[in-house]
Amino acid sequence: RAQAMPAYLSGLNPEQSDAVQTLDGPVLVLAGAGTGKTRVLTSRIAHILSTGRARPAEILSVTFTNKAAREMKLRLGQMLGQAVEGMPWLGTFHSIGGRILRYHAELVQLTSNFTVLDTDDQIRLLKQLLAADNIDDKRWPARMLAGLIDGWKNRGLTPSQVPAGEAAMFGNGRGGKLYAAYQERLKVLNAADFGDLLLEDIRLFREHPDVLRQYQQRFKYILVDEYQDTNVAQYLWLRLLAQAPSSTSPRLRGESLPPGYDPGVGLRSNPGEGAPQQIADSQEPETPPHPTPLPASGEREQAVPTSPPPKNICCVGDDDQSIYGWRGAEVDNILRFDHDFPGAKIIRLERNYRSTGHILAAASHLIAHNEGRLGKTLRTEDVDGEKVTVTGSWDSEEEARAIGEEIEQLQRDGHKLNDIAILVRASFQMREFEDRFVTLGLPYRVIGGPRFYERAEIRDALAYLRVINSPADDLAFERIVNVPKRGLGDATVQLLHDHARKRKIPLTEAARAIVDSDELKPKARGSLRDLMTSFDRWRMQRDVKTHTELAEIVLDESGYTEMWQKDRSADAAGRLENLKELVRSMEEFENLQGFLEHISLVMDREGGADEDAVSVMTLHSAKGLEFDNVFLPGWEEGLFPHQRALDEQGRAGLEEERRLAHVGITRARKRAKLYFASNRRIHGTWNTTLPSRFLDELPADHVEITESKGGSGWGGAGGYGSSRFDNMESFGSSYTTPGWQRAQAERARNNRGGGGNNGGFSEEQSPFSSSRNESDSFAKK
């Protein structure tokens, strides 16, 4: 009793403390934004470690981004007063899934140095398959197939499990076959795509229960952040690992989806850009229920003779922050937690520690417009602070200028740029800010945005390194076989392909096989031989030189650097700098393999981490983060909510947009500033836009309307001529006028609740309706 409370426990409120200290059995923390869910998870790890319940390597801890994983490690070190040595299983689903896959690659027909393909590689490979099958790429684009395959993978479906109706949706019924061919081809190339990092784990676990058991025994504690955004594949993966190890079970309980689990209910097409691009944006169709035959529940229970002790799994999440439905996330996963993990303790946290009163009130009021939600109380003991501001401007350029000025003002008032973020709905919005910041000389970083590693010259350089690392990496080989030009054009590549396909071997092997034959013209033959000799030499140097030296040698000897040195285009100099930067960035890694691994996984890289800079990112990437000052531009109909959500039948898309808006506002600690422009150029054409309905849904008492300082603000300018704008104007003159609500009522009269141009919401049942009952069960606890 007299013992001093460890630092990581002091300061927690009773509910948080309960969540941290309930180490045995399943725990779900279901709570709103800023209530300390992530802090609870971190404290929990600290508690587990400092009480000696488990070693770092025995804790599986899943975060949503790599950045979040790094942050958690950092906090953990602070809490424990010392850096944590190793936490190998703290990371994203993909990074941990990939790690497991590498250990057992042979069991799923890969070798441990397999390549992780990005979307670009994926598309290239699919194009080849379509060509080989004589499928018209115009009618049936490879990108569409990539989307379908990703969608299937997100739902944990292998080629044989794809419902016939869905397989029929591509290439006159050949969708499923192409998926199978794609998987087969990946194996030949010794490659995996992002979806495979989990799906192949699941297959591995199913086919090798001994391997699964090994992990079940290893992971004494499992923790998952942002549980509301897990998809079916992640759910299955987690369930398998969260089963108590059982040597007697012939049929593992986590093997298939439980009865009543209906994946795909909430799936819709991607309503916009902006997610961390780990998985290609999928064009997901409405889907029928899961086709896998499920064993009767009695049978399932019999398979596990003695009920094993419940696994120590702790998930935290917030149904109001589920924003990845378009990518296959199932908010149902969080709503059925106590069903999946019987005896789960459910803890609610109600005090928000992040935001001031006005901000929290605005966010809560907005999200209350959603019907499909559990509903929860949130309170703050913080001051009311500044009201949320809404600023209109003439166009997006003026908007960027206004925000630039406000940021400079904040800077003059002593704020750090690190405490400032701009959160956009769609990534194209970023350019305007980037331009503005360059003009102003304001340092900024783009998080999760157009990435350094995606630049063409970087991809080329990486392709060389990939081929050295894994000779079977055909996509990389094809990318650079004739870059710089060395007389190995399309005809040669076609010849290599024919050989490779016939004999089911990688291109580099095919190259070796035909390099001495007379199938090739003498010049090509000489070139190809030189290239193969170079690769052999580089591969040998790999063992004696450091990987950074190797990279320099390769860029030099391949003629790649020289190619850009001779290039006269305006951006050649920048590309050469980027190549230098690439070699510099490799120094942080132990070896080539480690570096390539990093490239394939780190999708949310920040710019110079220690520089004081404004953060610019999409709303999707902002999940879990917080900033003193948050700027939210582009709150216009068609942009936010996004047009694709408005075009959709039913209200699921619109409600997801609203959750995104809620996520945006709740990132702010002290200031949330919303903007809309009356004119915006979207993909090259100017559009006259209306303020977002979400602005109308904010509570007038907590919001202040301001005018853009740019001069030609919306308040003064005429000619908008829309009834919607008239609504805005009527209360725009004074925020005390309850015009927000009036506008809303009016629109409700006009089209039954604010639908887009599809004429409002349909009568369709909410995908959340089934979960209503579960909300009762939460309430009872």
Q: Restricting to residues 280-319, which ones interact with ligand ATP according to CB under 6 A?
A: 318
Q: Which stretch binds ligand ATP (CB under 6 A): 9-17, 305-313, 491-499, 734-742?
A: 9-17
Q: What are phi and psi of 654, to 5 degrees?
A: -65, -40
What does 12 bind: Mg ion, ligand ATP, none (CB cut-off 5 to 8 Å by kind)? ligand ATP
Residue with Cβ nearer ligand ATP (64 or 731): 64
Which own/partner contact pairs does 733-738 have at CB distance under 8 Å and 24+ positions apart? 734/705, 735/387, 735/700, 735/703, 735/704, 735/705, 736/700, 737/700, 738/700
In 3D space, the residue among 521, 499, 501 whose CA is nearest the CA of residue 512 turns out to be: 499
Exactly one of 20, 33, 96, 407 binds ligand ATP (CB under 6 A); that residue is 33
Q: Restricting to residues 354-393, which ones interact with ligand ATP according to CB under 6 A?
A: 354
Exactly one of 30, 38, 616, 633 binds ligand ATP (CB under 6 A); that residue is 38
Q: Which stretch binds ligand ATP (CB under 6 A): 36-44, 86-94, 193-201, 713-721?
A: 36-44
Exactly one of 37, 153, 336, 547 binds ligand ATP (CB under 6 A); that residue is 37
Q: Restricting to residues 645-684, which ones interact with ligand ATP according to CB under 6 A?
A: 666
Instruction: List contacts with Mg ion (CB under 5 A).
Output: 37-38, 624
**DSSP count for the chain of H helices, then E strands:** 32, 16
The end-to-end CA distance of the chain, in Å, is 29
> Does residue 11 interact with ligand ATP by CB under 6 A?
yes
Consult the annotation and say whether 34 binds a ligand: yes
Strand partners, 706: 391
Residue with Cβ nearer ligand ATP (525 or 659): 659
> Does residue 348 interact with ligand ATP by CB under 6 A?
no
Is residue 403 within 8 Å of 677, Cβ to Cβ?
A: no
Residues with active-site annotation: 37-38, 225-226, 321, 667
Residue with Cβ nearer Mg ion (33 or 698): 33
Using a 10 angstrom Cβ sphere, with 0-12 exposed, 13-18 middle and 19 or more buried, the burial of residue 648 is buried
In 3D space, the residue among 531, 521, 759 whose CA is nearest the CA of residue 648 turns out to be: 759
Contacts (Cβ under 8 Å, ≥6 apart) of 590: none
Residue with Cβ nearer ligand ATP (353 or 452): 353
Residue with Cβ nearer ligand ATP (39 or 311): 39
Instruction: Point out the residue whose Cβ comes nearest to ligand ATP.
Output: 36
Consult the annotation and say whether 38 binds a ligand: yes
Instruction: Point out the residue whose Cβ comes nearest to Mg ion.
Output: 38
Which tokens in the block code for residue 32? Answer: 């709103």
Strand partners, 639: 642
> Does residue 13 interact with ligand ATP by CB under 6 A?
yes
Pattern 605-644, ligand ATP, x by CB under 6 A: -------------------x-x------------------
Per-residue buried b or exposed e for 463-472, using 16+ beta carbons within 10 Å of the residue's own CB: bbbbbbbbbb
> Does residue 452 interact with ligand ATP by CB under 6 A?
no
Contacts (Cβ under 8 Å, ≥6 apart) of 311: 25, 26, 222, 242, 243, 244, 341
Is residue 311 within 8 Å of 244, Cβ to Cβ?
A: yes
What does 39 bind: Mg ion, ligand ATP, none (CB cut-off 5 to 8 Å by kind)? ligand ATP
Exactly one of 36, 171, 209, 449 binds ligand ATP (CB under 6 A); that residue is 36
Site residue total, ligand ATP (CB under 6 A): 18
Give alpha helix (H) positions in 243-356: 297-302, 332-335, 337-340
Q: Which stretch binds ligand ATP (CB under 6 A): 10-18, 202-210, 235-243, 400-408?
A: 10-18
Residue type, 550: L
* Strand residues in 529-665 grouped as ranges (E): 614-618, 627-632
What does 473 bind: Mg ion, ligand ATP, none (CB cut-off 5 to 8 Å by kind)? none
Q: Which residues bind ligand ATP (CB under 6 A)?
A: 11-13, 16, 33-39, 318, 321, 353-354, 624, 626, 666
Residues annotated in the binding site for ATP, as ranges?
A: 31-38
Residues annotated in the binding site, as ranges?
A: 31-38
